[in-house]
């Protein structure tokens, strides 16, 4: 008697898809930035626990050196566009982003940043504007977008506007948001209504560097998945940005850079804890580009690094991708930055009708 292999039985092996996706972006976080944080920390970093690692090519539509607007548009929409473009294609027409697609399918959505919420990286995930500096136009897009959770700076672009008299905080309230800001208290201090959308403004303009007292990113990274999980039964897409890693790179400030990276890694730890308990969450960590052309010079010792920068700008090197959870294996290998979008869609089964 021969054993027949039943092809059907292979097809029936259940593939585990994630219910939730958390995309964490360290703006300007190249491989050397990650290495510098690993070698500066007494304990292993949370990021070291990610089982799948890949690299993506960061270049934009017409420039080997991308900026954060084109970089985030590649992640959000799957298209390479010109530097400065917020959620629009090279022909300046808007591209549909992953948050809009997630909302259509009933998923909850969230954006957390340590910059203003209208800054290029978070903006490209929901707004559609020709240029990244159109902050008040971007704020208007955000106020109308019905993202379930928003945490970041930039309150003044919502309620003290120059281009019009709109009060977008009033609008958010009218749309059913629970809106709070740093003026009332810390993020930890509010009684949360999980049935309502939630917005918390962490600063009028840009939030402080972590070295000057900003402390909300790790807590926000614990709170946001918990909130979205309670808020919706259909899963969620959440983007969390460590925005100021990039700024430390531009400023060529090594100590500042390490402090922002360690803060970002603390946020990674919070997200990983949620994902471990939940079991249905895919976590992806990457950068839009490297900033500063960082090197760890010979002569460096553990926790005594001789850091050097070759640029005050973004460089063109590939950047790492780390993944954990169901379908994380999609993220190994070397691919274009736009593939982050396509892989997220595949993991969420958006590519199958």
Q: Which residues bind Mg ion (CB under 5 A)?
A: 27, 68, 121, 243
Query: What is the Rg, in whole angstroms, of the alpha carbon atoms belonging to the chain?
Result: 20
By CB under 5 A, tell whether 288 contacts Zn ion: no
Name residues contacting Zn ion, limited to 231-270 (CB under 5 A).
Answer: 246
Task: Select the residue whose beta carbon is closest to Zn ion and give its number.
Answer: 246
- Is residue 282 helix, strand or coil? strand
As measured in angstroms, the least distance from the Cβ of 246 to Mg ion is 6
| Neighbour count for residue 256 (Cβ, 10 Å) | 19
| 68 assigned to active site | yes
Taking the least distance from each CB to Mg ion, the nearer of 229 and 290 is 290
Would you state the structure tokens that stand for residue 31, as one six-digit string? 């491989």
- Per-residue binding string, Zn ion, 154-193, x by CB under 5 A, is ----------------------------------------
40 contact choice in Mg ion, Zn ion, none (CB below 5 to 8 Å, kind-dependent)? none
338 contact choice in Mg ion, Zn ion, none (CB below 5 to 8 Å, kind-dependent)? none
Cα–Cα dist 270/319, whole Å: 23
Taking the least distance from each CB to Zn ion, the nearer of 246 and 339 is 246
Phi, psi of 318 (to 5 degrees): -65, 155
As measured in angstroms, the least distance from the Cβ of 210 to Mg ion is 15
The sign of the dihedral angle between the CA atoms of 326, 330, 332, 336 is negative
Among 9, 52, 130, 133, which residue's Cα sits nearest to residue 326? 52
Tell me if 30 sits within 8 A of 317, measured CB to CB: yes
**Residue found under tokens 């050397």:** 32
Taking the least distance from each CB to Zn ion, the nearer of 197 and 252 is 252
337 contact choice in Zn ion, Mg ion, none (CB below 5 to 8 Å, kind-dependent)? none
Cα–Cα dist 177/158, whole Å: 14
Q: Which residues are catalytic?
A: 68
Residues that bind Zn ion (CB under 5 A): 246
């Amino acid at each position: 008697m021969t054993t027949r292999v039943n092809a059907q039985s292979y097809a029936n092996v259940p593939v585990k898809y994630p219910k939730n996706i958390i995309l964490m972006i360290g703006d300007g976080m190249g491989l050397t930035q990650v290495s510098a944080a690993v070698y500066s920390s007494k304990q292993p970093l949370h990021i070291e626990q990610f089982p799948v690692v890949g690299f993506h090519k960061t270049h934009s539509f017409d420039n080997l050196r991308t900026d954060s607007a084109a970089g985030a548009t590649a992640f959000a929409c799957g298209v390479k566009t010109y530097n400065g473009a917020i959620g629009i294609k090279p022909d300046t027409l808007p591209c549909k982003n992953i948050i809009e697609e997630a909302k259509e399918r009933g998923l909850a959505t969230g954006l957390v940043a340590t910059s203003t919420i209208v800054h290029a990286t978070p903006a490209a995930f929901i707004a559609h504007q020709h240029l990244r500096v159109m902050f008040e136009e971007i704020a208007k897009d955000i106020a109308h977008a019905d993202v379930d959770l928003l945490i970041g700076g930039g309150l003044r672009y919502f309620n003290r506007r120059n281009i019009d008299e709109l009060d977008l905080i009033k609008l958010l309230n009218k749309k059913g948001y629970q809106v709070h800001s740093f003026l009332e208290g810390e993020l930890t201090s509010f009684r949360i209504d999980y049935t309502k959308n939630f917005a918390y403004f962490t600063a009028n303009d840009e939030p402080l560097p972590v070295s000057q007292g900003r402390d909300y990113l790790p807590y926000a990274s614990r709170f946001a998945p918990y909130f979205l999980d309670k808020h919706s039964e259909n899963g969620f897409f959440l983007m969390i940005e460590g925005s100021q890693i990039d700024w430390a790179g531009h400023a060529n400030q090594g100590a500042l850079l390490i402090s922002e990276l360690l803060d970002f890694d603390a946020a990674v730890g919070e997200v990983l804890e949620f994902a471990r308990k939940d079991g249905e969450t895919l976590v992806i960590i990457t950068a839009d580009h490297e900033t500063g052309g960082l090197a760890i010079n010979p002569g460096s010792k553990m926790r005594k690094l001789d850091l050097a920068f070759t640029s005050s700008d973004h460089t063109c090197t590939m950047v790492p991708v780390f993944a954990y959870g169901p379908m994380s294996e999609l993220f190994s290998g070397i691919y274009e930055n736009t593939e982050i979008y396509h892989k997220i869609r595949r993991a969420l089964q958006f590519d199958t009708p």
